[in-house]
Structure 1
C-alpha cells in the first residue's frame, strides 16, 4: 500500500525517513513491527489533520455564505 507523502509536513517526512532506515537496520522482527507501526501512526495523523482542515474550510465557507444572506 502506497502512502500519500504530500500530506506530511517537512518534519514528518524527515522522521518517517529515519524510521524507515531504522526499520531496515532492525535486529528483530519486533523492532521492525514497532517502526512500521510508528510510521503508520504518522501517516494516520496526517490524514486526520487533512480531513480536519477540509472540515474547517467547509465550515468557514458555509459561515461566510450564511453571513452574506443576513
Structure 2
C-alpha cells in the first residue's frame, strides 16, 4: 500500500492543473468478511467505503489517501 500512497502523492504534484488523483484504502469491508465466513467486527461497512469513494471523486482534494473512516492521510 505504501507504493500506491507514494504514487498518489507524487502524481498529484506532477499532474496539470485541474487533474486530480486520490486513493481509497478501506481495509477490510464488512460484507466481504461475512461472505468469507470470517469475523466481520473489524470490517468497515460497504456504505461507508462508498462514501469515501464519493468524497474522493466529488471533493476538491488531490494527492490524498482516504481510509473510509473519515480520516485523510
TM bracket, shorter-chain basis: 0.3 to 0.5
The two structures have a TM-score, normalised by structure 2, of: 0.36
- Say which structure is richer in helix: 1
- Say which structure is richer in strand: 2
The two structures have a TM-score, normalised by structure 1, of: 0.37
Rg bigger for which structure?
A: 1
